[in-house]
Structure formats: C-alpha cells, structure tokens
Amino acid sequence: MGTLELPPPQARRILQLARTDRAAARDAMAEHGLAAQAALICETPVQRRADLLALAPDPDRLIPALPPAELCFTVLAVGLEDASWMLAHATPDQMTACVDLDAWNRDLPDRRKLGAWLSAFADAGDETLLQAAAAVDLEAWVLHLMDRVQVELKPSGDDDWEPPAGGQTIDGVFYVIARQPTDDLEDLLALLRVLFQEDYWFYFRLLQGVIWELPTETEEWALRWRTGRLEDLGFPQASEAMAIYAYLSPAACSALPEQPLVRDLIDWPAPVWMPSFPAAAAAEYALFQAFAELPEEERRSYLLEFLSLANRAAVADDLPLGEAATLPTALTKVALFASLGLVHLMREHGEKGADLLRRMSQQRLFQIGFNLERAAGRVEGPRLPEETDEEDEPSEADASDEGAFS
C-alpha cells in the first residue's frame, strides 16, 4: 500500500493552473508517471476527475489504469451523455464492471440504465460499441431489446410477405419495431449495424433471442453471470452478505477464539482505489488505531479485509454499487461497529487492539459491535440469521485475499 505519490494539493495546483494556462497544466500532469496520475485521479473528488483526465498526456493509457469501479464513479459523475470520450479508452473489463455495478436494479437488469450505457458506448464510436457488445452479456442485451422492440423474421420463400408497419431492418431479414412510438432506436440500430458488419453470429443470436427466449429464463442466466463477476470483485450474494448481522448471544459477544485467525496474504488489484487509511493513534475509530499498531508490512492484509467487509455491508444494505457515495457509507458503518466490538473486547480481556485483530475476523468484531448496539436499543437490524455462538471458520471474504469495492 504505502503513501500516495500525489497528495490532493497537487490536484488543486494543476486544476488552478489549467484556468490560466492549460498547456502548463498538461506539462505539470505529465511530470508524473502513469501510476501517480492514476492515484491523483482517484484521490480527487469524482466531480473534478474529468477535468484532470482532460489534462492527461496519454488518456488511452491512463483510463485503462483506473480501477474499474473508479471509472464507473467518474463516468456517472460526469454524466453518461458527456462521458463517451472516456469510454472510448475503457477496457472490456471496465465496461463490464460499469454495467454490472450501475445498470442493475437488485436482481434484474435496469433496462433504462442499460439503454443509457448503450447510447454512451454508441457515441464513443463503432470500435467502442463493438467492444461493449462483447463485454456485456448477451442475455442482458436480449432483455434490453425485448423491452424496446419486437423482432420479426422474414419467412423464407414467402413472396407475399409484407414487412411490418414501422419495421426497420439492417439486412432485409430481421425487422425491429419500436414498442414506443417516440423511440427512434438510433442507438439500437447503431449496435445492430456494427454487429452485423463485424460479428454476425452475435447479431444473429441476439435477434433470435428476442424472438424465442423466455424473459424469465433470460433474467436468471443474466443474473447468474453477473453474480459470479461481482463475487470476483469482492461482492458476495445478498444471502451470504446478511451474515454480518447474525445474532450473537451476550456470552458470544465476549468470547475469544483460542487460536489466532489464519489469514491468506494473497494480494491482487482491487476494483476500487485503495487510499491511505487513518492509521494514527488519534484516529477516530479504535479499529484504525489497531491498524496503526500493526507493522506496516502486515497492515495491508487487514485493510483488504476491512474493504471486503465494506463490500458485504454494501450488499447487505442494498446500497447502489455504482455510486461513489456507497463506499464511504459502507466503510464508515464497518469502522463504527467493528470499533465498538473491538473496544468491548479490549475492556473485557485487557488486550491490545492489534492482538485482537490477529485473533479474530473483522466481520466478527462488526457482529459483536452491532449486537451490543442492538441489545441496547440503539440500532434496529434486518431479519437476522440464526444464532452463532462460535467463531466461524473464516471464509474467503473474511480473509484478506478478496478484493474490495465501494
């Protein structure tokens, strides 16, 4: 982890310089390496990131270097209608993450949002549109088309067949008819044209899917693919995430495991930027104070675990995963309840915070803190899983080998 190469004041200096001398601002941005530029972008409030990106000397290298969720936050802050120039430099993985995080409403694709992303990809040009078509699941595109058009297939050998009223076609075989008279289908026809020219098999399967596939089955497959990808990003399924609110008896809230928790120290790029967390004794939360007691080479695994737990909280609380405000909200909640649990155990057993962190998962600390507050009547929780009195075996999300999102 380490400290940032570019602190926030650097961003302010460059942005202020750009008001009077954009060439000098570009030179100031170019003084820093690619990793430092990415750090600068991610440490800047999302509303100002586009201004910095516009000053980047090499956006086709810088934008792919951004964590996928951070690009999603940035695009949404700018507005999809104005973000096509950023999406033109995005990687397929970033496109997939953007749609997975923003264009869903709980367990179903959000057709309106998916349409907005489609328009943005189309505005970015044919190459970007083709990449986006492959990056987003076929099932999601089928559901989007089902919502917007009817598709009719010209019968073979029927010379008397007449095209449907209002039907539009790319190839004279498939005809699409808008469900809403005010929908000109401009973005959709752009997608179909590019697919017809560059990936006919995808084009054929897409339109055949609109004709023949059942919406419910298509939704199930789309959800299955998205769920797997979100788990790879550190987001568990909702049923698993709700375990953070499991009931603990008063005795369980004070119990310590006999053996230290074994953590895997696997490190991998997270889908969000990993900033420098408060790690000073004067930090607001006891959890951060305990982080400060850890050796620096040991601290990163605990920060990954902390971010992973925030992912779980975001899913359990049904927070919008594509919004930049979700990460601070989830992190604050996790820090609060885990700190309450940590302070309780420190008082009960007279141990240091860092020693307790080594003995139990931060999810357990969160559960203890939440149950204490719930018992005191200061919080109300969701419907809770059955009582758990023993320290659970750590799942992959409890260990530090999971990534983290906002």
Annotated domain spans of the chain: 67-230, 234-375
SS3 track for the chain: CCCCCCCHHHHHHHHHHHCCCHHHHHHHHHCCCHHHHHHHHHHCCHHHHHHHHCCCCCHHHHHHHCCHHHHHHHHHHHCHHHCHHHHCCCCHHHHHHHHHHHCEECCEECHHHHHHHHHHHHHCCHHHHHHHHHHCCHHHHHHHHHHHEEEEECCCCCCCCCCCCCCEECCCCEEEEECCCCCCCHHHHHHHHHHHHHCHHHHHHHHHHHHHCCHHHHHHHHHHHHHHHHHHCCCCCHHHHHHHHCCCCHHHHHCCCCCCCCCCCCCCCCCCCCCCCCCCCCCCCHHHHHHHHCCHHHHHHHHHHHHHHHHHHHHHCCCCCCCCCHHHHHHHHHHHHHHHHHHHHHHHHCCCHHHHHHHCCHHHHHHHHHHHHHHCCCCCCCCCCCCCCCCCCCCCCCCCCCCCCC
* CB-CB contact of 267 with 298 (8 Å): no
Separation CA 17–CA 25 (nearest Å): 5
349 falls in which pLDDT band (50, 70, 90)? Answer: very high
Instruction: Quote the percentage of the chain above a pLDDT of 90.
Output: 67
Q: Please report the sign of the dihedral spanned by the C-alpha atoms of residue 339, residue 345, residue 350, residue 354.
A: negative
pLDDT tens digits along 283-294: 689 999 999 898
pLDDT in tens, 153-191: 999 887 788 999 999 999 999 999 999 999 999 999 999
Condensed to tens digits (0 to 9), the pLDDT of residues 196-242 reads: 999 999 999 999 999 999 999 999 999 999 999 998 888 999 999 99
Q: Per-residue pLDDT averaged across 290-301, rounded?
A: 87
Q: How does pLDDT run across 19-51, given as a tens digit for each residue?
A: 899 999 999 999 999 989 998 898 888 889 999
Question: What pLDDT score was predicted for residue 267?
Answer: 57
pLDDT digits (tens, 9 = 90+) for 101-125: 999 988 888 988 998 999 999 999 9
The more confident residue out of 12 and 168 is 168
- Supply the pLDDT for residue 393: 45
